[in-house]
């Protein structure tokens, strides 16, 4: 949630705003269809407003919640700079070109992350967030059934993993969300990088990190140095949390994160 907020109009809580009759908001754009946890932010904001009305922005609540969620699944906690203010504009179309697609290669990832002031090394570290959570079949099914010009299977994917995914995501019929990290799906660790190194990256944009020499070196380095990954990830999260922030008299402090005000 924090990542998808920060990459569209900066970390201004715009991803939390609901659509209105005259406007489709970011949260209802296709790239955000699998976002979850809005009710967690609502609950925290309600408690905060009771304790200190109009002081803590929705953008800050989201930044703190991301840090705490990370710690709850085994990640390193870190200090979150506060003082963001909330934007009051949320347009679904602005997700286009700002959120990296699941098909992105390293050059495309570098372009998108670079446009936000983040380095390639920070991009590789932040990709490690995919060690927890789920993905919709639609975000990777092309690797199973319609890859390349011949429309076959992605040859860069481990065949056994591809076979497993094909049973979880049949070409026709209902499918369930799939764990990004099938080994430890609810633990923040370096298994994401071990999976990529074993050609078991779920998204094409995950596996792409092994196809580039410089990103591959970082991927392999993290598999043997989990402490380095945790430190790098926390540092990159702080940098990401500073993208395009509104401060001072800019923006507002929303009392309801879903509604402009």
> Phi and psi (nearest 5°) for 147?
-85, 135
Task: Report whether 181 belongs to an annotated binding site.
Answer: yes
Task: Report whether 5 belongs to an annotated binding site.
Answer: yes
Task: Report whether 8 belongs to an annotated binding site.
Answer: yes
**Does 224 have pLDDT greater than 80?**
yes
The Cα–Cα gap between 55 and 188 comes to 31
Cα distance from N-terminal residue to C-terminal residue, the chain: 21
For 169, counting Cβ atoms within 10 Å of its Cβ (0-12 exposed, 13-18 middle, 19+ buried), the class is: buried
DSSP assignments along 173-227, one per residue: S----EESSSSSTTS-SSHHHHHHHTT--SSHHHHGGGTSHHHHHHHHHHHH-HH
The Cα–Cα gap between 125 and 225 comes to 12
Per-residue confidence band for 149, with pLDDT thresholds at 50, 70 and 90: confident
**Does 173 have pLDDT greater than 70?**
no
Task: Report whether 18 belongs to an annotated binding site.
Answer: no
- Judge contact between 63 and 80, C-beta under 8 A: yes
**Does 63 have pLDDT greater than 90?**
yes
* Structural domains in the chain, sorted by start: 1-99 (1.10.520.10), 118-238 (1.10.420.10)
The Cα–Cα gap between 93 and 87 comes to 16
For 167, counting Cβ atoms within 10 Å of its Cβ (0-12 exposed, 13-18 middle, 19+ buried), the class is: exposed
> Does 140 or 174 have the greater pLDDT score?
140
Task: Report whether 100 belongs to an annotated binding site.
Answer: yes
Across 235-261, average pLDDT:
96
Across 53-61, average pLDDT:
97
The Cα–Cα gap between 99 and 61 comes to 21
Task: Report whether 149 belongs to an annotated binding site.
Answer: no
76-103, pLDDT tens digit by residue? 999 999 999 999 999 999 999 999 999 9
DSSP assignments along 28-97, one per residue: GSGGGTT---HHHHHHHHHHHHHHSTTTS-HHHHHHHHHHHHHHHTTPPP-------BB-----GGGGTT
The set of catalytic residues is 4
In the chain, helix, strand, coil percent, each to 5? 50, 5, 45
For 87, counting Cβ atoms within 10 Å of its Cβ (0-12 exposed, 13-18 middle, 19+ buried), the class is: buried
Rama region for 128: left / alpha / beta (φ>0; ψ in -120 to 50; rest): alpha
């Amino acid at each position: 949630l924090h990542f998808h907020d920060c990459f569209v109009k900066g970390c201004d809580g715009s991803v939390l705003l609901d659509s209105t009759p005259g406007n489709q908001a970011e949260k209802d754009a296709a790239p955000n269809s699998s976002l979850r946890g809005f009710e967690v932010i609502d609950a925290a904001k309600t408690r905060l407003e009771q304790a200190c009305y109009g002081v803590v922005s929705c953008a800050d609540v989201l930044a703190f919640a991301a840090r705490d969620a990370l710690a709850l699944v085994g990640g390193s906690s870190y200090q979150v700079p506060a003082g963001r203010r909330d934007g009051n504009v949320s347009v679904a179309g602005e997700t286009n070109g700002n959120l990296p697609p699941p098909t992105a290669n390293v050059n495309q990832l570098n372009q998108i992350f670079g446009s936000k002031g983040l380095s390639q090394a920070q991009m590789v570290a932040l990709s490690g967030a995919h060690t927890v959570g789920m993905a919709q079949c639609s975000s990777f099914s092309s690797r199973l059934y319609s890859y390349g010009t011949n429309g076959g299977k992605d040859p860069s994917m481990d065949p056994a993993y591809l076979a497993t995914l094909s049973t979880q995501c049949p070409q026709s019929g209902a499918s369930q969300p799939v764990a990004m990290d099938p080994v430890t799906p609810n633990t923040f660790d370096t298994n994401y990088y071990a999976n990529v190194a074993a050609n078991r990256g779920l998204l094409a944009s995950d596996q792409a990190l092994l196809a580039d020499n410089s990103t591959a070196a970082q991927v392999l380095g993290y598999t043997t140095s989990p402490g380095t990954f945790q430190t790098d990830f926390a540092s990159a999260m702080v940098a990401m949390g500073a993208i395009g922030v509104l401060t001072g008299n800019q923006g507002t402090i929303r009392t309801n994160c879903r509604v402009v005000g």
